[in-house]
Amino acid sequence: MKRAPENLELPEKDPVSPLDLLEMGVSAAGQEGQSAARLSRLAIVGTGLIGASVGLAAKRAGVELVSGFDPDPAALRVAHERGAVDLAADTPAEAVGTAELVVIAAPVADLSGRAREVLGLVDETCTVTDVGSTKSAVCAATADDKRFIGGHPVCGSETSGPGYASADLFESATWFLTPHAGTDPDCYRLLHGFVASLGAHPVAIDAAAHDRLVALTSHLPHALSNLLVNQAGSTRVEGHEPLASAGGSLRDMTRVAGANPRIWVDIFLENAEPLREALAEHRRLIEQLETALAAGDTGFVGRWIAEAGLHRRHLLAEVYPSVGGLFRLRVHVADQPGVLAGITQVLGAERINIEDLEMQHVSPDRGGSLSIVIAGDDEAHRAAELLETQGYSVVVSDILEEDA
């Protein structure tokens, strides 16, 4: 079965194009240990959650010396205390010193300036990258420099500072890299190997294409989440508050609503153009649905839902290895410490693998609903029977037939 990272590698097409670089990068993936071992001095400019996590993961991967700088002395101190940087520098110049690789982990609005600054400080062989969510602006600002390659780890990051940093943050994450026509192959090879050594999967992509891609996969969902919760939250229906009777669909769809404005104002505005295109297309699709609803066009609505089912199945196939036989067990549980342990123990003892598990808390007095996803019809029903023998009432359903 296909998996996301391989899937996203650009195919080899032209023996003299920058795609060669990507191919070299792909080859380098087979030598992760070597590449990581080759890098001994790393500098991090910006030691918030992502920067400090890069430091911790790099130390774990065997990088000898990590130096760091942050305009916020408190963030730098915490990163140093946590062992994410060995050397806390007073200036960017001191941090980048003799580094072989500089990772810039600054807010997206500051990236271009920081990248130009760092490129002016380091020598000819030093590789420079960033970890921002948008790539066009920083890559345009550095397009004349063979040493800079844009980067973006997709790791569901939180923005709570270096205190929450973790060496595991990039484990299994897609890490986009955006080499350009003039990129130095050695720089690309070094960065590719470094990213792989942190546990991430490097995926090469054109900077502008990256921004159109994340507009669809991340910025549009975030924007719709905000729009939906604002619409539901600001409406009253004859005194009833929609948010007070929110079901599972509204709750899931607004999970990222209101996400950190300090980060997201910049991201939305930096990627305004691709996001506006995605929003305009979304409006067009909504209008199409409105027309079908006005005409009572059951054929359209049926095909539209079926198409969504196919796409959702495709998305799940990227996440789960065995789609087609996924079942959800829904168990009502008391809200008491330890109740989950009992349930998961029973399944663990019988070697039943839990693919996905979610507990939705209702209230302390009424308890909550536990949703357990298990692959395979037989296995799911075996699990349900086991839990029923423990006195739990279980509802089993095919995950792709759900109506929730």
Binders in 91-130 for its own copies, by CB under 8 A:
none
Query: Helix (H, G, I), strand (E, B), or coil: what is residue 31?
Result: helix
What residue type is 150 in one-letter code?
G
**Binding string, residues 284-323; x marks residues near its own copies by CB under 8 A:** -xxx-xx--xx-x-x--xx-xxxxxxxxxxxx--xxxx--
End-to-end CA distance of the chain: 28
Residue type, 33: G
Binding to its own copies (CB under 8 A): which residues in 45-74?
none
325 in contact with its own copies (CB under 8 A):
no
Cβ burial, residue 50 (10 Å; 0-12/13-18/19+): buried
Asked if 389 interacts with its own copies (CB under 8 A), we say: no
Kindly identify the residues of this chain, within the stretch 342-361, that bind its own copies according to CB under 8 A: 344-345, 347-361
Q: How far is the CB of 142 from its own copies (least distance, A)?
A: 21
Residue 4 is a binding residue for its own copies (CB under 8 A): yes
- Binding flag, residue 30, its own copies (CB under 8 A): no
DSSP class of 125: T
For the record, the structure tokens of 344 come out as 């998961």
134 is an interface residue for its own copies by CB under 8 A: no
Min dist. Cβ of residue 30 to its own copies (A): 17
Q: Are 132 and 219 in contact (CB under 8 A)?
A: no
Which candidate, 276, 266, 271, 382, places its Cα nearest to that of 329? 382
Distance of CA 121 to the CA centre of its chain: 31
- What residues numbered 173-202 form the site for its own copies, per CB under 8 A? 174
Closer residue to its own copies, CB minimum distance, 106 or 154: 154
Residue among 93 and 304 whose Cβ is closer to its own copies: 304
Does residue 248 touch its own copies according to CB under 8 A?
yes
Specify the length of the chain in residues.
404
Cβ-based nearer residue to its own copies, 77 or 332: 332
> Using the rule CB under 8 A, which residue among 101, 103, 196, 394 binds its own copies?
394
Contact 57, 198 (CB under 8 A): yes
Binding its own copies (rule: CB under 8 A), the pick from 172, 324, 378, 385 is: 172
> How far is 379 from 51, CA to CA, in rounded Å?
42
CB of 123 to its own copies, least distance (A): 34
